[in-house]
Every structure is written in C-alpha cells, then in structure tokens.
C-alpha cells in the first residue's frame, strides 16, 4: 500500500458560518490535487462544513474528542458524535491542547483508541519545545511522546502522525528541511506500520515553504493552521502537493 499525501487544515477556534464559502473556493483545486484534503473546523461548524463538502474531494475532521463514549462530561464531544456530524478524522494531542488543557500522552492514547473505535482516523500530534530542541533532545522527546500516545492495538492502526515542533506553530518559524527530514525518518523508524502510516509536518506551513517540505521523502503531507483560514493560501499549499494530471502514468 502506498501512502497518499494528506493536506489538512486546522482552523482552531476560528471560523463562522460566513466562512463556509471556503469550501466552494477550494473545491476546484482539491479536485485536481494529487492529495487527500481535510479541514478541521470548530465542532460547531462540523455538520455544516460536512454538507459544504458533499460531492467534493474534501473531508472534514474534529480538533479533539473525549476518550469516553458518552456520559457526564460537560462541554466535551465524543468521537462518535464527530463521526455522526460527518467527520472522517480527528486531531488529537495538539500542542495547544497539551499546553492549555494539560493533556498527557496517556490521555492522547485513550482518545486515539476511542477515535478508532468510532471509525475515525486519529491525527496524533507530537513535537518538541524550543528548549528541548536547543538541548539536543528533540528526537528523544518525540520518540517518548510517540511511544506513550499511540494506540495499543497495532492491528487496527489506521492513523496519521503530525510532527509539529511547538516553537514553529503560529510563529512564522519553520524547522529546516534537514531537521524535518531527520525527525520524520526517526518517527517512521518507530512506527508499528512504518510503510503505510502518513507523517505530516506542521508549524507555519505556507505557500512559500510547502513545496520544499512536501518534497521530502518521509513527509506525507502538512497540517496547516493559520494558512488554512484563507482559501487562496490553502489552495496554493494544495497545489504544492502536485496535480493528478502531473502524475506519470
């Protein structure tokens, strides 16, 4: 099985019903793209975003889910609820959730298992802080996050990993292509199904740097924050992944 490129947008706590015209604007580019396209809007927009994608090549995902199937968890949503709203994927363990909500690797693993159970593809985020990179511990930190956040049951491993150095998120800074290549190779070596698991890079991906990052062997796509809010920027990133018509047959 070959890995297909995935270009995923993470709208974070941004967007409104008025922003859903984004899907019509991006649809023609998505149709031509040699990549799967995913948008993760806030949970309140998920069902409408899913309808806006009907008939297009785009899919929608959640930004988080609870580890439990249902119950007394005010303010949370379950993986099955995301699925019912039309999601195919769910981002888990994003560094903003790890920082703002104290999410541990063990919790991320529990959420990933809940997501798989509900038929969602978990997009599990890992990444080191600036201090950890400067101390030469980036690979060690990411390896330990991976070891503790991946689901236990490797036979049902349909998942995506997103390597997002924390210091590169929303800062305009990007890891060098050499550092990204080295980290993605290190991640791939540690995956239970290395050949089929998609590894995305995230952290200030923009139209200007997407092509260089996406051309790396072990980079199977991008998780895009800020630049996924503008249809023109996101379309340019999708185009950097190549067009179906450019495929050698």
Which amino acids are annotated catalytic?
94, 164
Q: Is the dihedral of CA 159, 97, 54, 206 positive or negative?
A: negative
- The interface mask with ligand PGA, positions 112-151, x = CB under 6 A, is ----------------------------------------
Segment near ligand PGA (CB under 6 A); pick from 15-23, 27-35, 186-194, 196-204: 196-204
Dist CA 31 CA 233 (whole Å):
16
Helices (H), 124-206: 130-134, 138-149, 177-189
Q: In the window 5-34, what residues touch ligand PGA (CB under 6 A)?
A: 10
Sequence-distant (6+) residues with CB within 8 A of 134 are none
Q: Counting contacts by CB under 6 A, is residue 64 touching ligand PGA?
A: no
Structure token pair of residue 98: 């790890």
CB contact at 8 A, 126 and 149: yes
The smaller minimum CB distance to ligand PGA, of residues 95 and 197, is found at 95
Cβ at position 227, least distance to ligand PGA in Å: 6
State which residue has the least CB distance to ligand PGA.
225
Q: Is 212 exposed, middle or buried (0-12, 13-18, 19+ CB in 10 A)?
A: middle
Q: Counting contacts by CB under 6 A, is residue 169 touching ligand PGA?
A: yes
The smaller minimum CB distance to ligand PGA, of residues 128 and 164, is found at 164
Residues that contact ligand PGA, how many (by CB under 6 A) = 13
Q: Counting contacts by CB under 6 A, is residue 204 touching ligand PGA?
A: yes
Sequence-distant (6+) residues with CB within 8 A of 83 are 118, 119, 120
Among 58, 141, 205, 219, binds ligand PGA (CB under 6 A): 205
Among 62, 93, 122, 225, binds ligand PGA (CB under 6 A): 225
End-to-end CA distance of the chain: 17
The smaller minimum CB distance to ligand PGA, of residues 117 and 209, is found at 209
CB contact at 8 A, 202 and 225: yes
Q: Counting contacts by CB under 6 A, is residue 93 touching ligand PGA?
A: no
Q: Is 115 exposed, middle or buried (0-12, 13-18, 19+ CB in 10 A)?
A: buried
Structure token pair of residue 220: 């199977």
Cβ at position 136, least distance to ligand PGA in Å: 23
Among 36, 164, 218, 233, binds ligand PGA (CB under 6 A): 164
Segment near ligand PGA (CB under 6 A); pick from 18-26, 29-37, 151-159, 162-170: 162-170
The smaller minimum CB distance to ligand PGA, of residues 67 and 169, is found at 169
Q: Is the dihedral of CA 119, 93, 199, 5 positive or negative?
A: positive
Contact residues for ligand PGA, defined by CB under 6 A: 10, 164, 169-170, 202-205, 223-227
């Amino acid at each position: 099985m070959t890995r297909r490129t995935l270009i995923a947008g993470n709208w974070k706590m941004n967007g409104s019903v008025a922003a859903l015209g984004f899907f019509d604007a991006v649809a023609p580019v998505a149709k031509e793209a040699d990549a799967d396209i995913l948008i993760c809007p806030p949970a309140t927009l998920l069902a409408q975003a899913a309808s806006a994608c009907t008939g297009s090549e785009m899919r929608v995902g959640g930004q988080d889910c609870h580890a439990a199937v249902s119950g007394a968890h005010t303010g949370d949503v379950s993986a099955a609820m995301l699925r019912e709203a039309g999601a195919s994927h769910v981002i888990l363990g994003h560094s903003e959730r790890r920082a703002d909500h104290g999410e541990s690797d063990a919790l991320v693993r529990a959420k990933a298992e809940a997501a798989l159970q509900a038929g969602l593809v978990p997009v599990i985020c890992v990444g080191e802080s600036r201090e950890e990179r400067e101390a030469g511990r980036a690979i060690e930190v990411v390896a330990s996050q991976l070891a503790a956040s991946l689901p236990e049951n490797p036979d049902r491993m349909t998942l995506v990993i997103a390597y997002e150095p924390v210091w590169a998120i929303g800062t305009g800074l990007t890891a060098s292509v050499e550092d990204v290549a080295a980290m993605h190779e290190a991640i791939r070596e540690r995956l239970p199904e290395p050949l089929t698991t998609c590894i995305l890079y995230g952290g200030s991906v923009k139209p200007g740097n997407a092509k260089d990052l996406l051309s790396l062997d072990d980079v199977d796509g991008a998780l895009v924050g800020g630049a996924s809010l503008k249809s023109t920027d996101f379309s340019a990133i999708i185009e950097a992944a190549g067009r179906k018509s450019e495929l050698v047959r």
